[in-house]
Structure 1
Amino acid sequence: MIKIRNPEQILSHGDAASRKLVLEIADLTLARLDSYRRIKSIGRMEGSLLHIGTRSWDLLKKRNVYLFGAGKACNHMAMAVDEILGDYLTEGLAIVKVAEETDAFRKTKVFVGGHPLPNEEGYRASKMMIDLVQKSGPEDLFIVVISGGSSALMSCPIEGISLQDEIDATDVLLKSGAGIYEINAVRRHISAMNGGMLAKRIQDVGAELIGFGISDAVGSPATGNIGTPYAAYKSTPIGPDPTTLDDARATIINRDLGERLPRSIVDYLMNAGPEGETPKSFPHNTYFLLNTLPDSCIYAKQICDEIGIPALIVSSFLEGESRDAGTFFASMAREIQTYGNPIKPPCVLLSSGEVTTLISDNSVIRGHGGPGQEMAASFAIAAAKAPGACLLSVDTEGTDGTTKVAGGITDSSSFQSASNKGISLFRALREHSCFEALDAIGDVVFTGNTGTNLCDLNIVYVPGIDG
């Protein structure tokens, strides 16, 4: 396996044939999505000329070349740029979620930020980035690599809002049941970096910006030629922000967060004037979009075609409660096995998106977990009636929720395996302790940093009833 590090554990029990197929599809898909590989495929130096896809820059005409990065795939993105630039790189600053022993940088300092909750190290690195920008001018070039998770990792609240306020607000928002667009509407409008504010700072000093991005937004179109500058790039710290102050206010009102969010944040957002709005366009920046959320399903289907097994992309817009999604996919497996709808077995079902977990009361939490593990646990319960059916649900960047595993994998035998060990998957779901439950039966998936960040990837294998 290229990306999945614990295949022996996963294949040591349960329906080994179903698990092996699902693991193979997932592993090959993650390998194709690796951002190091994507950037190196379009970027190179020829003398002093930096070539990226269809564009070129003469770095001898630049006084300084800086590399900034943040996100859950930042390790691999920043390594690729650091390697390509070589001695032409003046200095690099990268904020990652997990630092890996295999990470190798020449001129880039790495900071381990907080995710899903911001931390002091990410805040300190963000301040260093702001200081560098303020010392820069029109002869300088900033190359910025951004992937999902940057809102938390690149945490730097505006004046009047403390880092602790932002941490507390992030915790409340993530447990509110709000969608990512709603959450970002609040976070971006209280940030000195996110929502395009880093790009605005670079623009204000007259420096040039080249951005590499991975879009994990539900609804993004699939990528085309990644070597062609992407004119419609938006959001994150370096692009225009589609969310508005009104969106942020609506999140507070619709999710009844007025008394749960820190008072400093509620007061600011409810009273901010036009000067508090985030930037909506950057016509002079150059952006390259490496991957978008639908790509994971597209690549997975290509791999299924190569293997020779029919595959159906169910949705790349999957949202909602993770445990409900797990039950839904188990129901689909039963429908396919019984009636051959909407596709005959054996087959693979593919989906991507961003499911969430509603936690309205922290006192019910008895362990750890994430949406992928909750989906796998709920699938196991319902799939006990779908012989051989197997689901893998992972967060493609390699960490699911509050854990260091990518997600979970269960099949039709997992519920009984858990019961045989005295483990109740129903209780694990109620108490949000699915990591402990799945880990005990060998059903967690461990990848480490994958080099991509396209939210959830869900792969279901449905064999015929007779195998």
Structure 2
Amino acid sequence: MKKIRNADQILTNGNFASRETVLEIADKTLQRLDSYHRIKSIMHLDGDVLHIGSRSWDLRRKKNIYLFGAGKACNHMAMAVDHVLGDRLTRGIAIVKIHEETDRFNKTDVFVGGHPLPNEVGYQASKEIIQLVEQSGPEDLFIVVISGGSSALMSCPVDGITLQDEIDATDVLLKSGAGIYEINAIRRHISALNGGMLAKRIQDVGAELIGIGISDAVGTPATGDIGEPYTAYKSTPIGPDATTLDDARATIANFDLADRLPKSIVDYLTNAGPEQETPKAFPDNTYFLLNTLPDSCIYAKEVCAEMGLPAVILTSFLEGESRDAGTFMASLVREIQTYGNPVQAPCVLLSSGEVTTQILDSKLIKGHGGPGQEMAVSFAIAAAKTPGACLLSIDSEGTDGTAQVAGGITDSESLKAAQAKGINLYQSLREHSCFEALDAIGSTVFTGNTGTNLCDLNIVYVPALKEGK
């Protein structure tokens, strides 16, 4: 099945050849990143023995086997483990963002949590997870699959902070301009499960933990042999937390949040002592890492090579304001087409990371969208001067911001197409209504769940200028 489900619609608009090229690269890259197939490639059951990569476990020595999962790629990750274990599984709980009709589980209950803002369903599922852990013991095995988005989906604030407090805080943080590290420094330190607290609970009852993760953290190195245990696993509910209470307090100060966050959270973080710090090491746990942020660009470059297209990985550290990133990409295309710097056209430019959109006043919001869509719109404005150039910017897990689309795709004809429909793209950026603008010109990208979660994937096709252009 194709990952990009509305490709036919996308190809009825704009520059057909450029869009077709970019869509093919994106689709084949997402196929390679699908966590269901990644897990099944290293995990299998041989009689009573569970094999994961180079490690194995005799399940006759285990009383109960539990599967927990949370994240935007959790559907595919949890399904893979559920399918491998079959009747060996005692019970599973998976907290997902979107429950697809094609999801099929044997012994796993699926809860649709809230993302980017937590919700009551995710909260109740998290409390069930805590209850199961508390009644477990040394003979039990926990297999936990985690991808990006788990901080919101597996939401369970500490005593004294309500779910509504956490929802309000998340909303403020996401609009503050803070990076994901700063945001997580606060979210992890007010959680009963995140920031390694789930692993600590499992450790406290003496049970064994196997963690399988996808890391969307900017700066994590590319994966190697995914069948070998990963010793540098960090953060999320099951790994040691790299952020500190001091980081959380610094975020409040640096982004002037003391009067914008709920008072219960500010007070808790201000007064928290060493006993409220998140755990920093779990040497006895076994972790496997399926994919990291640089992998998407690496796989995309391999796909380009198979298609006979020169490709350059610009960066897997892309951060900052999304609309600025779109404008920069268009300016780089213009440099390549005009002067051949830093590479000659035709070529493909690849980048990944996590751009953000700063919204200081929610009253400015007149529609829907997300960073990928804003990047695509800003590219469209500047790319009118770059004949044939095309950019696809998506959140690789399948949803971008407040819209149920993965992102957007625009090219050198998109500005003109918008103007023909009476759409002012500058106004769409100001009012954060880029979904409505892109949808009107057939330039949203719809995937549904992709089975991965590696933040942003940006693909730019740069054709050579024709003679006389």
TM-score range, shorter chain: over 0.9
1:257 & 1:165 partners in 2: Cα distance?
A: 14
Helix, strand or coil for the counterpart of 1:60? Answer: helix
1:433 & 1:466 partners in 2: Cα distance?
A: 35
Matches within 5 A, 1:19-418: 19-418=19-418
Helix, strand or coil for the counterpart of 1:349? Answer: strand
> How far did 1:2 drift?
1.6
1:14 & 1:431 partners in 2: Cα distance?
A: 24
Helix, strand or coil for the counterpart of 2:136? Answer: coil
| Deviations 1:42-62 (CA, angstroms, capped at 9, x unpaired) | 000000100000000011110
1:210 & 1:364 partners in 2: Cα distance?
A: 45
**1:433 alignment counterpart:** 433
1:438 & 1:242 partners in 2: Cα distance?
A: 38
Ranges in structure 1 where 5+ consecutive residues have no aligned partner: none
2:395 & 2:28 partners in 1: Cα distance?
A: 15
1:60 & 1:368 partners in 2: Cα distance?
A: 52
2:342 & 2:446 partners in 1: Cα distance?
A: 32
1:13 & 1:394 partners in 2: Cα distance?
A: 18
Aligned letter for 1:150?
S
> How far did 1:377 drift?
0.1
Number of residue equivalences:
467
Helix, strand or coil for the counterpart of 1:298? Answer: helix
1:343 & 1:277 partners in 2: Cα distance?
A: 48
> How far did 1:110 drift?
0.0
2:63 & 2:376 partners in 1: Cα distance?
A: 52
Regions of 4+ moved over 4 Å:
none
> How far did 1:12 drift?
0.4
2:305 & 2:343 partners in 1: Cα distance?
A: 15
Task: State, as a whole percentage, how many aligned pairs show the same letter.
Answer: 78
Helix, strand or coil for the counterpart of 1:358? Answer: coil
Aligned letter for 1:457?
L
Aligned letter for 1:350?
L
| Deviations 1:387-429 (CA, angstroms, capped at 9, x unpaired) | 0000000000000000110000000000000000000100000
2:91 & 2:104 partners in 1: Cα distance?
A: 15
**1:449 alignment counterpart:** 449
> How far did 1:281 drift?
0.2
Helix, strand or coil for the counterpart of 2:41? Answer: helix
2:142 & 2:296 partners in 1: Cα distance?
A: 29
1:86 & 1:379 partners in 2: Cα distance?
A: 47
| Deviations 1:275-329 (CA, angstroms, capped at 9, x unpaired) | 1100000000000000000000000000001110100000000000000000000
| Deviations 1:16-38 (CA, angstroms, capped at 9, x unpaired) | 00000000000000000000010
Helix, strand or coil for the counterpart of 2:326? Answer: helix
Aligned letter for 1:327?
T
| Deviations 1:114-170 (CA, angstroms, capped at 9, x unpaired) | 000000000000000000000000000000000000000000000000000000000
Aligned letter for 2:394?
V
**1:422 alignment counterpart:** 422
**1:13 alignment counterpart:** 13
2:63 & 2:14 partners in 1: Cα distance?
A: 60
Helix, strand or coil for the counterpart of 1:157? Answer: coil
2:463 & 2:403 partners in 1: Cα distance?
A: 31
> How far did 1:379 drift?
0.1
1:123 & 1:31 partners in 2: Cα distance?
A: 32
TM-score normalized with structure 1 length: 1.00
Aligned letter for 2:370?
G
Aligned letter for 1:332?
L
| Deviations 1:222-250 (CA, angstroms, capped at 9, x unpaired) | 00000000000000000000000000000
1:59 & 1:68 partners in 2: Cα distance?
A: 17
2:230 & 2:170 partners in 1: Cα distance?
A: 30
2:343 & 2:271 partners in 1: Cα distance?
A: 53
Aligned letter for 2:100?
E
> How far did 1:257 drift?
0.1
1:259 & 1:138 partners in 2: Cα distance?
A: 45
Aligned letter for 1:223?
T
2:294 & 2:303 partners in 1: Cα distance?
A: 15
Helix, strand or coil for the counterpart of 2:212? Answer: strand
Aligned letter for 1:466?
K
Aligned letter for 2:399?
T
> How far did 1:101 drift?
0.2
Helix, strand or coil for the counterpart of 1:316? Answer: strand
TM-score normalized with structure 2 length: 0.99
2:11 & 2:158 partners in 1: Cα distance?
A: 49
Aligned letter for 1:22?
V
Aligned letter for 1:366?
K
1:3 & 1:14 partners in 2: Cα distance?
A: 21
> How far did 1:13 drift?
1.5
